[in-house]
Protein backbone atom coordinates (compact mmCIF):
# COMPACT_ATOMS: atom_id res chain seq x y z
CA UNK A 1 0.00 0.00 0.00
CA UNK A 2 1.42 3.39 -1.01
CA UNK A 3 2.12 5.67 1.94
CA UNK A 4 1.31 9.37 1.54
CA UNK A 5 3.83 11.88 2.88
CA UNK A 6 2.20 15.25 3.42
CA UNK A 7 4.59 18.14 2.80
CA UNK A 8 3.53 21.51 4.14
CA UNK A 9 4.81 24.80 5.53
CA UNK A 10 3.95 28.46 5.60
CA UNK A 11 4.04 30.67 2.53
CA UNK A 12 7.64 31.27 1.44
CA UNK A 13 9.08 28.39 3.47
CA UNK A 14 10.34 26.71 0.28
CA UNK A 15 8.03 23.67 0.12
CA UNK A 16 8.48 23.31 -3.64
CA UNK A 17 12.28 23.22 -3.30
CA UNK A 18 11.96 20.41 -0.75
CA UNK A 19 9.37 18.66 -2.94
CA UNK A 20 11.91 18.75 -5.78
CA UNK A 21 14.54 17.10 -3.55
CA UNK A 22 12.08 14.24 -2.92
CA UNK A 23 11.34 14.08 -6.64
CA UNK A 24 15.06 13.80 -7.45
CA UNK A 25 15.14 10.79 -5.14
CA UNK A 26 12.47 9.04 -7.17
CA UNK A 27 9.40 9.91 -5.10
CA UNK A 28 6.36 11.04 -7.16
CA UNK A 29 5.17 14.51 -6.10
CA UNK A 30 1.67 16.00 -6.28
CA UNK A 31 1.70 19.80 -5.88
CA UNK A 32 -1.84 20.62 -4.72
CA UNK A 33 -1.66 24.37 -5.56
CA UNK A 34 -0.54 23.70 -9.14
CA UNK A 35 -3.25 21.09 -9.63
CA UNK A 36 -5.84 23.45 -8.11
CA UNK A 37 -4.91 26.05 -10.77
CA UNK A 38 -5.60 23.47 -13.49
CA UNK A 39 -8.83 22.34 -11.85
CA UNK A 40 -9.96 25.98 -11.65
CA UNK A 41 -9.87 26.18 -15.43
CA UNK A 42 -12.63 23.60 -15.78
CA UNK A 43 -16.01 24.93 -16.87
CA UNK A 44 -17.77 23.52 -13.82
CA UNK A 45 -15.45 25.29 -11.36
CA UNK A 46 -15.45 28.54 -13.38
CA UNK A 47 -19.25 28.60 -13.19
CA UNK A 48 -19.25 28.01 -9.44
CA UNK A 49 -16.71 30.83 -8.95
CA UNK A 50 -18.84 33.16 -11.08
CA UNK A 51 -21.92 32.36 -8.98
CA UNK A 52 -20.06 32.88 -5.69
CA UNK A 53 -17.74 35.78 -6.55
CA UNK A 54 -19.27 37.47 -9.60
CA UNK A 55 -18.45 37.85 -13.30
CA UNK A 56 -16.17 40.86 -12.68
CA UNK A 57 -13.31 38.47 -11.79
CA UNK A 58 -13.18 37.23 -15.37
CA UNK A 59 -11.69 38.80 -18.49
CA UNK A 60 -12.89 36.89 -21.58
CA UNK A 61 -13.81 33.95 -19.36
CA UNK A 62 -10.26 33.88 -17.92
CA UNK A 63 -10.10 34.12 -14.15
CA UNK A 64 -8.12 37.06 -12.79
CA UNK A 65 -6.29 35.14 -10.07
CA UNK A 66 -4.70 38.24 -8.53
CA UNK A 67 -8.13 39.85 -8.02
CA UNK A 68 -9.49 36.65 -6.50
CA UNK A 69 -6.46 36.31 -4.19
CA UNK A 70 -6.95 39.89 -3.00
CA UNK A 71 -10.56 39.11 -2.08
CA UNK A 72 -10.01 35.77 -0.31
CA UNK A 73 -6.81 36.62 1.52
CA UNK A 74 -8.59 39.51 3.22
CA UNK A 75 -11.76 37.64 4.13
CA UNK A 76 -11.67 34.29 5.92
CA UNK A 77 -15.30 33.53 5.02
CA UNK A 78 -14.69 34.07 1.30
CA UNK A 79 -11.50 31.99 1.46
CA UNK A 80 -13.53 29.18 3.02
CA UNK A 81 -16.10 29.54 0.23
CA UNK A 82 -13.43 29.27 -2.47
CA UNK A 83 -11.88 26.26 -0.74
CA UNK A 84 -15.27 24.53 -0.58
CA UNK A 85 -15.45 24.86 -4.40
CA UNK A 86 -11.88 23.88 -5.24
CA UNK A 87 -10.95 21.27 -2.60
CA UNK A 88 -13.43 18.52 -3.60
CA UNK A 89 -12.23 18.78 -7.22
CA UNK A 90 -8.55 18.60 -6.15
CA UNK A 91 -9.33 15.64 -3.89
CA UNK A 92 -10.87 13.77 -6.84
CA UNK A 93 -7.88 14.66 -9.03
CA UNK A 94 -5.43 13.46 -6.35
CA UNK A 95 -7.22 10.10 -6.00
CA UNK A 96 -6.86 9.55 -9.73
CA UNK A 97 -3.15 10.53 -9.60
CA UNK A 98 -2.61 8.25 -6.60
CA UNK A 99 -4.07 5.27 -8.46
CA UNK A 100 -1.60 5.97 -11.30
CA UNK A 101 1.32 5.93 -8.81
CA UNK A 102 0.25 3.00 -6.65
CA UNK A 103 3.37 0.98 -7.54
CA UNK A 104 5.48 3.45 -5.48
CA UNK A 105 6.12 2.90 -1.78
CA UNK A 106 5.79 6.62 -1.06
CA UNK A 107 4.28 9.65 -2.74
CA UNK A 108 4.41 13.30 -1.70
CA UNK A 109 1.27 15.44 -1.36
CA UNK A 110 2.51 19.04 -1.15
CA UNK A 111 0.01 21.61 0.10
CA UNK A 112 0.27 24.97 1.87
CA UNK A 113 -2.95 24.40 3.80
CA UNK A 114 -2.61 20.71 4.59
CA UNK A 115 -3.81 21.29 8.17
CA UNK A 116 -6.28 24.11 7.55
CA UNK A 117 -8.13 22.01 4.95
CA UNK A 118 -8.29 18.93 7.20
CA UNK A 119 -6.46 16.91 4.52
CA UNK A 120 -3.73 15.97 7.03
CA UNK A 121 -6.14 13.40 8.54
CA UNK A 122 -5.79 11.32 5.36
CA UNK A 123 -1.97 11.42 5.35
CA UNK A 124 0.43 8.78 6.73
CA UNK A 125 3.40 11.03 7.59
CA UNK A 126 3.72 14.81 7.74
CA UNK A 127 6.81 16.88 6.98
CA UNK A 128 6.67 20.59 7.84
CA UNK A 129 9.10 22.97 6.14
CA UNK A 130 10.15 26.03 8.13
CA UNK A 131 12.30 29.09 7.53
CA UNK A 132 12.81 32.35 9.44
CA UNK A 133 9.90 34.75 8.93
CA UNK A 134 12.00 37.52 7.36
CA UNK A 135 13.44 35.11 4.77
CA UNK A 136 9.91 33.89 3.97
CA UNK A 137 8.59 37.45 3.55
CA UNK A 138 11.47 38.37 1.22
CA UNK A 139 11.02 35.21 -0.85
CA UNK A 140 7.30 35.83 -1.41
CA UNK A 141 7.72 39.56 -2.13
CA UNK A 142 10.28 38.64 -4.80
CA UNK A 143 8.37 35.64 -6.19
CA UNK A 144 4.89 37.19 -6.34
CA UNK A 145 5.91 40.80 -6.77
CA UNK A 146 3.89 41.44 -3.61
CA UNK A 147 4.13 44.09 -0.91
CA UNK A 148 5.18 43.23 2.63
CA UNK A 149 1.60 43.93 3.81
CA UNK A 150 0.15 41.52 1.23
CA UNK A 151 2.54 38.76 2.34
CA UNK A 152 1.77 39.33 6.04
CA UNK A 153 -1.98 39.21 5.42
CA UNK A 154 -1.57 35.85 3.65
CA UNK A 155 0.54 34.57 6.52
CA UNK A 156 -2.21 35.52 8.96
CA UNK A 157 -4.62 33.24 7.10
CA UNK A 158 -2.34 30.23 7.66
CA UNK A 159 -1.45 28.27 10.78
CA UNK A 160 1.78 29.27 12.49
CA UNK A 161 4.83 26.98 12.56
CA UNK A 162 4.35 25.94 16.22
CA UNK A 163 0.87 24.65 15.48
CA UNK A 164 2.03 22.80 12.34
CA UNK A 165 5.09 21.29 14.03
CA UNK A 166 2.99 19.94 16.91
CA UNK A 167 1.15 17.68 14.42
CA UNK A 168 4.13 16.78 12.22
CA UNK A 169 6.36 13.70 12.14
CA UNK A 170 9.34 15.57 10.68
CA UNK A 171 10.52 19.18 10.42
CA UNK A 172 12.94 20.56 7.82
CA UNK A 173 14.50 23.97 8.37
CA UNK A 174 14.95 25.35 4.88
CA UNK A 175 17.40 28.22 5.44
CA UNK A 176 20.35 26.21 4.10
CA UNK A 177 19.72 24.12 0.99
CA UNK A 178 22.56 21.66 1.57
CA UNK A 179 21.37 20.86 5.10
CA UNK A 180 17.72 20.74 3.97
CA UNK A 181 18.63 18.21 1.27
CA UNK A 182 20.45 16.06 3.85
CA UNK A 183 17.29 16.15 5.99
CA UNK A 184 15.25 14.78 3.07
CA UNK A 185 17.72 11.87 2.71
CA UNK A 186 17.49 11.21 6.46
CA UNK A 187 13.66 11.23 6.43
CA UNK A 188 13.52 8.76 3.56
CA UNK A 189 15.92 6.42 5.36
CA UNK A 190 13.74 6.49 8.50
CA UNK A 191 10.56 5.89 6.48
CA UNK A 192 12.12 3.01 4.54
CA UNK A 193 13.08 1.36 7.84
CA UNK A 194 9.52 1.85 9.14
CA UNK A 195 8.11 0.29 5.95
CA UNK A 196 10.31 -2.78 6.33
CA UNK A 197 9.24 -3.20 9.96
CA UNK A 198 5.51 -2.94 9.24
Give the separation between CA 187 and CA 172, rounded to whole angstroms.
9
**12 appears as a binding residue in the annotation:** yes
**13 appears as a binding residue in the annotation:** yes
**15 appears as a binding residue in the annotation:** yes
Reduced to 3 states (helix: H, G, I; strand: E, B; else coil), residue 13 is coil
Angle between helices 15-24 and 177-197 (to 10 degrees): 60
Task: Return all residues near 166 (Cβ < 8 A) that are at least 6 apart.
Answer: none
**14 appears as a binding residue in the annotation:** yes
Query: What b-and-e string marks burial along 11-25, b requiring 16 or more CB atoms within 10 Å of the CB?
Result: bbbbbbebbbbbeee
Reduced to 3 states (helix: H, G, I; strand: E, B; else coil), residue 170 is strand
Question: What are the start-end ranges of the E strands in the chain?
Answer: 3-9, 29-31, 58-59, 62-63, 106-110, 125-130, 170-173
Give the separation between CA 114 and CA 123, rounded to whole angstroms.
9
Partners of 130 in beta bridges: 173
Q: Binding site for ATP: which residues?
A: 12-17
Q: Binding site: residue ranges?
A: 12-17
Amino acid sequence: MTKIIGLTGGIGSGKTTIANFFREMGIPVYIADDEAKKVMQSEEIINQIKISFGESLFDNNVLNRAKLAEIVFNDAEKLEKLNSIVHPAVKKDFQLWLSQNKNHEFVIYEAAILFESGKYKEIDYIVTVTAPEEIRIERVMKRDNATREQVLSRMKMQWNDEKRISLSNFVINNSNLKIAREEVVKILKILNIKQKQS
